[in-house]
Amino acid sequence: MPRTYPDRPFVGVGVVVWRDDEVLLIRRAKPPRQGQWSLPGGAQNLGETVFDAARREVLEETGLTIDVLGLVDVVDSIQRDDTGRVRYHYTLVDVFAAWRAGEATAGDDAAEVAWVGLDALPPLWSETERVIALAHEKWTALRAQRPRSPGTEN
């Protein structure tokens, strides 16, 4: 089925990847939102779990391996043409993850990749901003729960 003017929604997976206090962003190389900064991710394959899709998409788009930590939210992305017909329809399952290994390099659907602090985010789709903020709350809470090594202050 074509991605434009589909007869049903596609399931997409978006991944908020954290490395310390930085989030991984990609500049999209293909529509929809071509040229815009976004989260790595893409369409879920038949027979693939959401978490497996997240790991695969991040590896394909950035060369990184990640540990998926949990669900952030589900977002509807529906774009209509000038006549009101649905041009794109994605149900996006957003998860958050921790960087495990690798150097970020653009690949597959990414034209560019960058690690960015929350205070330096480029212009993003409002839903992407919201998902990153929710994921940051979960990431911060998870890091606060980690056991500390003896003799460390932080």
**Active centre residues (catalytic):** 112
Q: H or E stretch including 140?
A: helix 126-145
Q: What is the DSSP string of 51-101?
A: HHHHHHHHHHHHS-EEEEEEEEEEEEEEEE-TTS-EEEEEEEEEEEEEEEE
* Cβ–Cβ under 8 Å, residues 64 and 99: yes
Cα 43 off chain centre by: 12
